Structure 1
Amino acid sequence: MSKNTRADIDIQVANELVRRALMSCGANGDIAQSVAASCIDAQREGSDGGGLGGAIDYCNALRAGRVQGSLPHRSERPALALFAVDAAEGFTHPAFDAEFEALCDTTREVGVAVFGLRNGYASGSLGYYVRRLAERGLVALAATNAGPALVAASGSKEPVFCTNPIALGVPRDNTYPLVIDQSSSQTAMANLRIAADNGHDIPDNWALDSNGQPTTDPAAALNGVLLAFGGARGANVALLVEMLAAGATAANWSLEAPSYIEGEQSPGTGLLVIAIHATLLAGPQMARRIDDYLNQLRERYGAYIPGERRAANRDRQTDSLSVNTAMLNALRNLAGAD
């Protein structure tokens, strides 16, 4: 069977399958459901790597001990608008879920709130966090260093940063929020792994091989180093993310972080989410004004609006999901399903 074969599966069935797989690998029920919800959300948006592929990665990490699936996170409020969270080497999603309502309420009360998490596992799709806040009418910015070092700094051929994504969520009027979610590297590590699994070449500006030379071979890239987008400017963005996600949370620097795809140690990395009650600044018509502006960019200037393709995928996949058959079978094996 081809690795590219696809199948349709009911969303609720898929969610239960992911939850059972995570539980069979060591997660408790509440944590498994929180993580499963994030994976199904990514699959609805058309991401195999963040959807069922992400669930498989999480299961493997649980079995290896890179992430804890039963220990509760620890949270404190050092100031009214600050949420300081220690993920206890666990997933970021349950910690964010637990603080989500208080984060929204605090943002509306004081105008801004910050969720800072350390000692966590890879956060998955960063757009998941900011979109949920934007759906509540808040502007949100998020950054994570994910771990470990995979991306070269400007002038270097050695890995210094992780892919260090940054994401922005902005509410729109009567439609999905604007969501910009991009890594500081030319591509995400998941895309290299998908290309390698499917035998596809990659662009020669994505990565260097182990000898520091540009490569189109994803397997060689996985043993080499990723490149930042836009040269020095992209490397600066990676450093900016490192400061927000690790410097401001006391999480591991990417240089210190163990791998999130192999070994037995947690990467112990960080996630910073800033929520802003921007209608207090821009007025109650903010969402409509933003929506009018984005529509003008698309209709008059032919601009691509980030997140609209993912939103269209969500609209198409309300009851069932299109999934990679090999990933589906792998999850069924992990869950012990027939």
Structure 2
Amino acid sequence: MHRIPRPSALTSYCAGIEATATTPPTFGERAAALRALGWTDRQADWLTLVCLHSGVFIRSQYQARYNVTDGPTARFIGSLTRAGVLREAGSLDRRGYRPTSICHVHGRTVYRALGIEDNRHRRNASRELVMRRLLSLDYVLEHPECGWLPTEPEKLAYFQRLGISPTAVPQRVYHGAFTDRATRRYFVFKLPIASSGTTTTFVHADPVEGPRLQADRLRTWVIAHSALWEALRNRRWTVHVVTVTRTAAEAAAKAAILETWRGPPAPAAPRSEADQQLMDAIELADSTGDLRPLDAKYGGAIQAARAARRILDQEKAARGPAKYIDAYSTHVAERLTPDVLAA
């Protein structure tokens, strides 16, 4: 039976990694950190993969990765459970032969060794969020060749290397219930992103039911990433979107929506000299805080803002429907039937 390492040894090992690393550790380095604590090669590989990308998995996902049957899988799950790092909930599915119980890796010692002790994957989550994470993991498992960016720092570092400002990244500011301190979090959807050459892949996984709500959620996600995708395409990078679903019908519906957003970016609409002067004046007033030039020439800040809005609306209409992405694909996670959480 695997023994959990003493906290002192664990802390010492992790401190050594953090003291020497100038960039986030690689997948191999993280797995090596677990092996150094006594986990086997397979245990370290799987725990690293799951903790980074989802925190949860089902048995059939493990079996598919390592091509093993029920017996070895049960022994593997048992070893993690006895070590106190995993909980399993659920039972056989309604067909009675394929285990669909949810395995949650929650052990703090594992996440600490991986350098992600505060990762939300450790926490219990809603059924919807659990399914989203399972869908995300399913695609990652099927595409190990992709250069996955599993954590927020790795994603930010990647886009900053491309010269893209964090202001273009989807983000949200959280305020504590008992403090005035605000925390800004990036990539708030917590969905997979991968880099391969000059292509960046964004994975969308949302288990919500109902075609209208599915479409609304997908549109919200696309709009939230539009500034980032525009910045990538301006650098001649290819934006590839993958939608992960549980049924072929859902995949077809989402593909139809993505098709409307696929295409080359529209060229910038020509702007008259007078319109450009107005936009420049507003930008200058915004940067200096001095609104007096707008009063003298444009009748005040409010009138200038309204005129600028009309200019932008006219330019948007001239460009036609927005084209946000270069390519898309779908992935049906057949292991995750719609009733996988019904137990």
TM over 0.5: no
Where is the strand percentage greater, Structure 1 or Structure 2? 1
> TM-score normalized by structure 1?
0.24
